[in-house]
Chain A
């Protein structure tokens, strides 16, 4: 049957089983919006800024594992969306962004609302397409979904000129398409797998370092089984939190710049390191030269060969999908005659427990001012550790990571790679829509929340009852912390002047606002916000927290992983 390009876009999305399209209309996409009006297969969510559309689609993907979808118009619609696309790109999140474009004959003529979308987005997408012929549209949409979701996931942009949305062609959605230039590796090399298992069994001071790849690759179950079978200590990156239960004894917590003392020390001093879906980020290993001082053999599992030996040389590279590789490793381990060296492991754990006894995340629990860590701890208690937590970027993000103990994957939704302030609220929207009955909280700062505050309106329209936990320190706290440590306490432009009254602001948007000033009121406020009475309401909690609190431990830029500044030392 003949269909217009606009119908094709909409029908492809329906064929893909898309539940939500986050978007914002404009001239170039009006044909598509007209088709959206006529259908009922998926729901369109009208955001208040295109950046938020992409963030919400991204969070939908992070929390479900399915591809998120956003739709924006040409020109400013696209440029507004770029921050969202780059954010998804840095954390390898599968989304498809459909962008309107000026009609093909107008391309290149500086037409109204024309930007070179393929050019602007090229460095921050996994792939992008400009569809010049309506006949290519359905196949391109299929390719976009395949490319976004497979291999190392990532955002794909499909740029559709307005005339293409009006042209007609025979519509048939292909079940799959062959892309000869695109064949991600799934299975690990069997020889390398054997070497890796041998190395693990010989280890005296082993360590498992698990990242976002475990979450992206749905391999938590295999990781847990492997780690328990071996009895090894494990640490998660910021992106890997929840990939291995945080409340488990074998978990040493997050590592890196704001990682725990025990995780960073074990990482530095291990003799065999198993890296699983983690990319040796600069915020994770500190100074690579310092990291290389200690001898250790490294096994690295990653689906993207370019993640391997990029910043740190590894001994056993295993290119493959983490779930498949870990499953094969488990089989080999169960067949192996040798067992891990129990005596050596015992000594190693004794050392680790010594490091752990420093209790590096301790803080003053008797403060008369609200400590931000306390709010997060209480939030964990009140939500029984089972909420979806989104966060913005700054100190509050680190406290959320350190004090909310994630026991399940896909519960922790944050921007790690790009560190995009403003993601928190749109992330919470995407998560709540995907999980209508779940508890969803956004841990944010008074600065970050203002970057996408307009989405409070979207939350009202679609009755999205997220709970916003603002750790309001009246500062860009993370910036203030660096200025305190490295710039002689000269707080250049990091004080947040003229803050709005967030309670009134929330009320103006039709929500519930609360301001909490005293530690003794924290728990009650959280309980109320999560009570059945407010189940259907968005609650904006403005916690007035300690202005001078800093995030510890901290590894300064350029320093080694074991050269941490601890809270007690100041």
Chain B
């Protein structure tokens, strides 16, 4: 099962490597990992997307909690949550394909944020699967470059991860 784990940790040098090191040392999967400071600059918030059996996910959350720098861990997938990922895609936009590309981007609520005679750069946000769907909807031959942030997430309603 795919899980989205959110955590708050001390914003200190080496903190990221403690988490990354834990995953590689124990052979856990990382699908994506994003990290940035929060509104409180002493804290970093990290979102890790991982895949594993229930037993493995249980160990992952326990091991993360055990890291001395980690303050709180939440498995977002255990409750209602919102997941978003940002993708930038540079595509060929020439001839008939140019309009077609714009239409497809519109359908996916993408925004064209950079234009040349021959290219569009499209910004898309959504769940990972929506971004995948966009890439499947366009002709792969038109894709020049893609960059994705990896998922970040937040609990719905009152559900929150705070110190």
Q: Which chain A residues have a beta carbon within 8 Å of chain B's beta carbons? A: 118-119, 122-123, 126-127, 130, 147, 179-182, 304-306, 309-310
**B17 & A119 in contact (Cβ 8 Å cutoff):** yes
**B58 & A122 in contact (Cβ 8 Å cutoff):** no
- Residues from chain B with Cβ under 8 Å of A304 in the complex: 66
- Residues from chain A with Cβ under 8 Å of B66 in the complex: 304-306
10 contacts between A and B (CB under 8 A): A118-B14, A123-B21, A130-B14, A147-B68, A182-B68, A304-B66, A305-B62, A305-B65, A305-B66, A306-B59
Q: Does B146 contact A (CB under 8 A)?
A: no
Interface positions, chain B 17-71, Cβ under 8 Å from A, are 17-18, 21, 25, 55, 58-59, 62-63, 65-66, 68-71
**Contact pick for B58, options A119, A127, A181, A309, CB 8 Å:** A309
**Given A126-B68, A127-B68: A181 and B17 within 8 A (CB)?**
no
Other than A127-B69, A179-B68, A305-B66, give 20 A-B pairs with Cβ distance below 8 A: A118-B14, A119-B17, A122-B14, A122-B21, A123-B21, A123-B25, A127-B68, A180-B71, A181-B9, A181-B68, A181-B70, A181-B71, A304-B66, A305-B62, A305-B65, A306-B59, A306-B65, A309-B55, A309-B58, A310-B59
- Residues from chain B with Cβ under 8 Å of A182 in the complex: 68
Task: Return B71 CB to nearest CB of chain A, in Å.
Answer: 4
**What CA separation (Å) do A254 and B65 show in the bound complex?**
32
- Residues from chain B with Cβ under 8 Å of A118 in the complex: 14
Considering only CB atoms, which chain A residue lies closest to B14 in the complex? A118
**Contact pick for A122, options B18, B55, B62, CB 8 Å:** B18
**What CA separation (Å) do A130 and B70 show in the bound complex?**
17
Task: Return B64 CB to nearest CB of chain A, in Å.
Answer: 9
**What CA separation (Å) do A226 and B65 show in the bound complex?**
31
Q: Which chain B residues have a beta carbon within 8 Å of chain A's beta carbons? A: 9-10, 13-14, 17-18, 21, 25, 55, 58-59, 62-63, 65-66, 68-71, 163
- Residues from chain A with Cβ under 8 Å of B25 in the complex: 123
**What CA separation (Å) do A423 and B72 show in the bound complex?**
38
Task: Return A94 CB to nearest CB of chain B, in Å.
Answer: 14
**What CA separation (Å) do A123 and B70 show in the bound complex?**
16
**B21 & A181 in contact (Cβ 8 Å cutoff):** no
**What CA separation (Å) do A309 and B59 show in the bound complex?**
8
Main secondary structure of the interface of B (DSSP, over half): helix
- Residues from chain A with Cβ under 8 Å of B59 in the complex: 306, 310
**B68 & A130 in contact (Cβ 8 Å cutoff):** no
**B13 & A130 in contact (Cβ 8 Å cutoff):** yes
**What CA separation (Å) do A147 and B66 show in the bound complex?**
12
- Residues from chain A with Cβ under 8 Å of B71 in the complex: 180-181
- Residues from chain A with Cβ under 8 Å of B68 in the complex: 126-127, 147, 179, 181-182
**What CA separation (Å) do A180 and B163 show in the bound complex?**
9
Considering only CB atoms, which chain A residue lies closest to B65 in the complex? A305
Task: Return A182 CB to nearest CB of chain B, in Å.
Answer: 5
Considering only CB atoms, which chain A residue lies closest to B42 in the complex? A180
- Residues from chain B with Cβ under 8 Å of A147 in the complex: 68
**What CA separation (Å) do A398 and B54 show in the bound complex?**
37
- Residues from chain A with Cβ under 8 Å of B18 in the complex: 122
- Residues from chain A with Cβ under 8 Å of B21 in the complex: 122-123
Task: Return B63 CB to nearest CB of chain A, in Å.
Answer: 5
For A130, A180, A181, the residue with the greatest tally of chain B CB atoms inside 10 Å of its CB is A181
Task: Return A246 CB to nearest CB of chain B, in Å.
Answer: 32
- Residues from chain B with Cβ under 8 Å of A305 in the complex: 62, 65-66
**B62 & A306 in contact (Cβ 8 Å cutoff):** yes
- Residues from chain A with Cβ under 8 Å of B65 in the complex: 305-306
- Residues from chain B with Cβ under 8 Å of A130 in the complex: 13-14
**Contact pick for A181, options B55, B62, B63, B69, CB 8 Å:** B69
Considering only CB atoms, which chain B residue lies closest to A124 in the complex? B25
- Residues from chain B with Cβ under 8 Å of A122 in the complex: 14, 17-18, 21
Task: Return A239 CB to nearest CB of chain B, in Å.
Answer: 19
**What CA separation (Å) do A365 and B62 show in the bound complex?**
50
**What CA separation (Å) do A118 and B65 show in the bound complex?**
20
Considering only CB atoms, which chain B residue lies closest to A128 in the complex? B14
Task: Return A34 CB to nearest CB of chain B, in Å.
Answer: 29
Considering only CB atoms, which chain B residue lies closest to A182 in the complex? B68
- Residues from chain B with Cβ under 8 Å of A180 in the complex: 71, 163
**What CA separation (Å) do A123 and B22 show in the bound complex?**
8
- Residues from chain B with Cβ under 8 Å of A126 in the complex: 68
Considering only CB atoms, which chain B residue lies closest to A152 in the complex? B66
Considering only CB atoms, which chain A residue lies closest to B66 in the complex? A306
Q: Which 6 pairs from chain A and chain B are nearest by CB? A: A306-B62, A127-B68, A181-B71, A305-B62, A123-B25, A182-B68
- Residues from chain A with Cβ under 8 Å of B163 in the complex: 180
- Residues from chain A with Cβ under 8 Å of B9 in the complex: 181
- Residues from chain A with Cβ under 8 Å of B63 in the complex: 306
**What CA separation (Å) do A147 and B21 show in the bound complex?**
20
- Residues from chain A with Cβ under 8 Å of B58 in the complex: 309
**What CA separation (Å) do A310 and B57 show in the bound complex?**
11
Considering only CB atoms, which chain B residue lies closest to A184 in the complex? B66
**What CA separation (Å) do A179 and B25 show in the bound complex?**
26
Task: Return A179 CB to nearest CB of chain B, in Å.
Answer: 7
Task: Return B124 CB to nearest CB of chain A, in Å.
Answer: 35
**What CA separation (Å) do A181 and B7 show in the bound complex?**
12
Considering only CB atoms, which chain A residue lies closest to B68 in the complex? A127
For A130, A179, A182, A306, the residue with the greatest tally of chain B CB atoms inside 10 Å of its CB is A306
**What CA separation (Å) do A413 and B58 show in the bound complex?**
33
**What CA separation (Å) do A181 and B8 show in the bound complex?**
9
- Residues from chain A with Cβ under 8 Å of B69 in the complex: 127, 181
**What CA separation (Å) do A181 and B62 show in the bound complex?**
14
Considering only CB atoms, which chain B residue lies closest to A123 in the complex? B25
**What CA separation (Å) do A179 and B10 show in the bound complex?**
10
